């Protein structure tokens, strides 16, 4: 019996003895007169046991069993360790058939010290911006590099409507122009052309890194879409918060479904996560039902807009260069288009086509002869020597001019006829051994002792050679090690071990 219960018993006993009145007891106990009268009735029947509540010691009817609690805690630690509490409650009901409220899960997670805590940062006051009134007035686009699935990082590129939070997203290896164009094209095919695109100042969207030009900016201009640049991540908070949701919910779901490749991740994102969760729980109704989306005009073709375009100048002979190759225009052209610009439309699969105005040109790649300098300057000089022989018609005159022997030129001619320029590259001049260079036997001895004791230093090797009446300097040993790729201890040990294996 605690002190409060003892005090209640003392007051009620004094009322029974007639020492205080019922009204005074009600004032002292902070109870109503009717409650004090019930206490008196129960005191006369049960004695001082009236103060003990009838449910004391009883198990609550709605208490969750300890076995279920242990089962859920084990699931939290092993299977659902990276889910937040609300997401965990939903999946326990969906996958395990266990209905537990979020706050109960919070208590159980705290008991095993397994709770994701929010980051505490000093917030900065920013001006709140209302959503756009109609869908299609403004869309936000960005990419989020993260370890979404598996062990490697990938990028989720998403575009979201500011008015309704309608979203389209796809996984790509990195945030590139190709990925952004594919996501924008997919959304336009699904909804239509929107009015403005709100993005950050990355180079993909014609930020400072691109000197205010990019393929995305060019494509948006052709579609009539205005690009707005945000001065801070908080400015496009709609897309930034969507990435927080994706990282919090999509990552553990991909892990739970054993998804480790990009194709499966995109399939799950488009067919499961966005329709079943995002559309039902995140999307909102716009203030105005009037849509700002416009249908794609028939004169606009996304296949010719959502591509990478480059321009080349046409030469006098109606040729142009692209990707280190020469191409000639085969299409019949009545007048010369010298110094005009030809438009190269590069598809993201590697194919490209050339256009002049809105007319597609027939082009053919020119197979240029291989240049001699591709084999090196030394081969170029040998080929020039053979050309001089042909011009003079005499090997002797060419040898006197070049300052070489006739036999050298005869050798060049024979190799050129049999193997071509690549054969001239294989001609190696014999190396003359220096008079001051140590003998080959001594070099072999140094290498042999080095491999016998790969942990030894050059000083230790020099002393070992002196015991065999061989005198060499430390620099000589180090030069031999460097020439034989034994200049580090790891290389010497590796060579020694390989020699042991061969033996």
Whole-number pLDDT of residue 426: 59
Whole-number pLDDT of residue 165: 94
What is the pTM (predicted TM-score) of this model?
0.59
Mean pLDDT for 265-290 is: 93
Of 457, 467, 459, 460, which Cα lies nearest the Cα of 489?
Answer: 457
Query: How many whole angstroms separate alpha carbon 416 and alpha carbon 425?
Result: 10
SS3 category, 367? coil
Which H/E stretch holds residue 239? helix 237-245
Of 140, 151, 249, which Cα lies nearest the Cα of 199?
Answer: 140
More confident residue, 220 or 406: 220
Per-residue pLDDT at 178 exceeds 80? yes
Whole-number pLDDT of residue 182: 93
**What residues form DSSP beta bridges with 145?**
155
Q: Tell me if 288 sits within 8 A of 134, measured CB to CB.
A: yes
**Four-residue CA torsion sign, 11, 13, 14, 16:** positive
DSSP letter (8 states) at residue 82: T
Query: How many whole angstroms separate alpha carbon 418 and alpha carbon 286?
Result: 79
Per-residue pLDDT at 51 exceeds 90? no
The stretches of 257-373 forming alpha helices (DSSP H) are 262-268, 302-305
Query: How many whole angstroms separate alpha carbon 216 and alpha carbon 307?
Result: 9
Query: How many whole angstroms separate alpha carbon 147 and alpha carbon 156?
Result: 10
Per-residue pLDDT at 430 exceeds 50? no
What are the contacts of 63-69 at 24+ separation with CB within 8 A? 64/100, 64/104, 68/98, 69/108
Mean of pLDDT over the chain: 85
Range with the poorest average pLDDT among 109-113, 288-292, 389-393: 389-393
Query: How many whole angstroms separate alpha carbon 466 and alpha carbon 458?
Result: 12
Range with the poorest average pLDDT among 18-27, 211-220, 309-318, 419-428: 419-428
Of 176, 173, 174, 180, which Cα lies nearest the Cα of 158?
Answer: 180
Query: How many whole angstroms separate alpha carbon 284 and alpha carbon 303?
Result: 32
Give the burial string for 262-289 (b: 16+ CB within 10 Å, else e). Answer: beebbebbeeebbeebbeeebeeebeee
Mean pLDDT for 46-54 is: 82
Per-residue pLDDT at 184 exceeds 90? yes
Range with the poorest average pLDDT among 145-154, 206-215, 271-280: 206-215
Whole-number pLDDT of residue 432: 46
Which H/E stretch holds residue 413? helix 406-418
Query: How many whole angstroms separate alpha carbon 318 and alpha carbon 333?
Result: 10
Mean pLDDT for 396-417 is: 81
Query: How many whole angstroms separate alpha carbon 401 and alpha carbon 395?
Result: 10
Per-residue pLDDT at 333 exceeds 70? yes
Of 226, 278, 223, which Cα lies nearest the Cα of 248?
Answer: 278
Range with the poorest average pLDDT among 19-23, 325-329, 431-435, 491-495: 431-435
Query: How many whole angstroms separate alpha carbon 401 and alpha carbon 388?
Result: 9
Per-residue pLDDT band for 201 (boundaries 50, 70, 90) equals confident
Whole-number pLDDT of residue 142: 93
Tell me the CA distances in angstroms from 481 to 109, 223, 408, 434, 436, one per residue in order. 63, 66, 35, 18, 18
Per-residue pLDDT band for 207 (boundaries 50, 70, 90) equals low
Q: Tell me if 332 sits within 8 A of 356, measured CB to CB.
A: no
Per-residue pLDDT at 190 exceeds 50? yes
- The residue count of the chain comes to 503
Range with the poorest average pLDDT among 111-120, 381-390, 400-409: 111-120
Write out the two tokens for 133.
Answer: 């009134």
Mean pLDDT for 8-25 is: 89
Share of the chain above pLDDT 90, in %: 35
Distance of CA 125 to the CA centre of its chain: 31
Per-residue pLDDT band for 429 (boundaries 50, 70, 90) equals very low
CA angle, corner 327, sides to 324 and 329, nearest 5? 155
Share of the chain above pLDDT 70, in %: 91
Which H/E stretch holds residue 171? strand 167-172
Whole-number pLDDT of residue 372: 47
- Where are the strands (E) in 220-323, listed by range? 226-229, 308-313, 319-322
The stretches of 419-457 forming alpha helices (DSSP H) are 421-425, 440-452
Per residue in 75-133, pLDDT (tens digit) is: 999 999 889 889 999 999 999 999 999 999 999 998 898 876 655 666 677 778 889 99
């Amino acid at each position: 019996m605690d002190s409060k219960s003892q005090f209640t018993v003392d007051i009620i006993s004094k009322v029974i003895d007639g020492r205080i009145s019922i009204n005074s007891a009600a004032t002292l106990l902070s109870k109503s007169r009717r409650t004090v009268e019930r206490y008196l009735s129960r005191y006369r029947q049960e004695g001082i046991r009236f103060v003990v509540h009838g449910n004391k010691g009883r198990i609550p009817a709605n208490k969750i069993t300890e076995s279920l609690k242990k089962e859920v805690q084990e699931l939290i630690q092993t299977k659902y360790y990276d889910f937040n509490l609300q997401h965990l409650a939903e999946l326990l009901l969906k996958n395990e058939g266990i209905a537990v409220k979020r706050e109960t899960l919070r208590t159980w997670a705290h008991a095993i010290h397994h709770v994701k805590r929010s980051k505490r940062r000093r917030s900065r006051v920013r001006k709140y911006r209302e959503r756009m009134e109609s869908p299609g007035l403004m869309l936000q686009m960005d990419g989020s590099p993260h370890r979404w699935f598996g062990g490697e990082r990938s990028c989720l590129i998403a575009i979201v409507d500011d008015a309704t939070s309608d979203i389209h997203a796809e996984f790509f290896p990195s945030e590139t122009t190709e990925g952004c164009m594919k996501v924008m094209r997919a959304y336009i095919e699904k909804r239509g052309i929107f009015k403005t695109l709100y993005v950050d100042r990355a180079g993909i969207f014609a930020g400072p890194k691109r000197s205010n030009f990019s393929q995305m900016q060019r494509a948006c201009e052709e579609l009539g879409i205005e690009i707005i640049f945000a001065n801070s991540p908080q400015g496009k908070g709609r897309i930034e918060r969507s990435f927080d949701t994706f990282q919090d919910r999509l990552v553990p779901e991909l892990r739970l479904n054993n998804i480790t490749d990009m194709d499966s991740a995109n399939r799950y994102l488009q067919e499961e996560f966005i329709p079943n969760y995002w559309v039902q729980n995140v999307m909102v109704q716009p203030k105005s039902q009037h849509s700002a989306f416009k249908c794609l005009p028939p004169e606009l073709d996304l296949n010719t807009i959502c591509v990478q375009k480059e321009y080349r100048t046409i030469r006098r002979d109606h040729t142009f260069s692209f990707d280190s190759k020469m191409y000639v225009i085969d299409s019949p052209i009545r007048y010369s288009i010298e110094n005009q610009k030809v438009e190269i439309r590069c598809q993201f699969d590697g194919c490209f086509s050339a256009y002049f105005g809105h007319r597609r040109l027939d082009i053919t790649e020119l197979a240029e002869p291989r240049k001699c300098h591709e084999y090196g300057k030394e081969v170029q000089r040998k080929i020039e020597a053979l050309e001089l022989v042909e011009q003079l018609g005499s090997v002797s005159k060419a040898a006197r001019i070049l300052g070489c022997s006739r036999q050298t030129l005869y050798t060049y001619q024979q190799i050129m006829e049999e193997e071509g320029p690549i054969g001239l590259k294989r001609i190696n001049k014999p190396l003359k051994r220096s008079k001051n260079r140590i003998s080959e036997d001594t070099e072999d001895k140094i290498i042999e002792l080095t491999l016998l004791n790969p942990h030894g230093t050059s000083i230790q090797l020099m002393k070992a050679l002196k015991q065999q009446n061989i005198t060499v300097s430390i620099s000589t040993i180090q030069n031999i090690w460097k020439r034989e790729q034994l200049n580090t201890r790891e290389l010497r040990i590796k060579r020694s071990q390989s020699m042991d294996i061969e033996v």
